[in-house]
């Protein structure tokens, strides 16, 4: 099932970046990408996402996204990273984790798919700078 999420994520490539949106081909942000794939493959989302600002949870230092992922996804050791799993990033040291991507390819040239401001949904190399920012890895649970 996990690889199915990587295939689904590829179908979102080219979707414009749009804060708080989650509609393939129309617009999404990084959370919206995961939410949209969840709906495509699982049905209804497990909880309603409240409105959020681009700096959400930063002023409070609150790990909102990490807690939400832990409620609805199965945590996976980083050593077991595989296509279709969700990776959560801290964009800078000491900041809350708030960027998501979906592993697309592992091995010698790993990649991930994510919605990135100014670029939309893209497949990017999972380069050393990105790998250093990984906070946690999750797999979609079987329903």
Rg (CA), the chain: 14
Mean pLDDT computed over 49-75: 82
DSSP notation for 39-86: HHHH-S-SSPPPP--TTTTTTTT--HHHHHHHHHEEEE-GGG--TT-E
pLDDT at 21 over 70: yes
Give the number of other Cβ atoms within 10 Å of residue 101's Cβ.
26
Q: What domains can be seen in the chain, in order of their start residue?
A: 2-140 (3.90.1720.10)
User: What global pTM score does this model have?
Assistant: 0.93
Model confidence at 100: pLDDT above 90:
yes
Reply yes or no on whether the pLDDT at 94 is more than 80.
yes
């Amino acid at each position: 099932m996990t690889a199915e999420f990587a295939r689904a994520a590829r179908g979102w490539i080219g979707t414009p970046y749009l804060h708080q949106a989650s509609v393939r081909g129309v617009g999404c942000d990084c959370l919206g990408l995961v939410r949209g794939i969840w709906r495509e493959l699982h049905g209804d989302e497990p909880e309603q996402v409240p409105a959020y600002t681009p700096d959400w949870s930063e002023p409070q230092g609150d790990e909102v996204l990490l807690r939400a992922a832990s409620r609805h996804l199965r945590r996976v050791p980083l050593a077991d990273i595989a296509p279709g799993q969700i990776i959560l990033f801290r964009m800078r040291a000491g900041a809350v984790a708030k960027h998501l991507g979906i592993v697309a390819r592992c091995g010698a040239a790993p990649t991930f798919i994510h919605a990135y401001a100014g670029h939309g949904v893209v497949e990017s190399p999972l380069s050393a700078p990105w790998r250093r920012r990984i906070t946690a890895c999750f797999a979609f649970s079987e329903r």
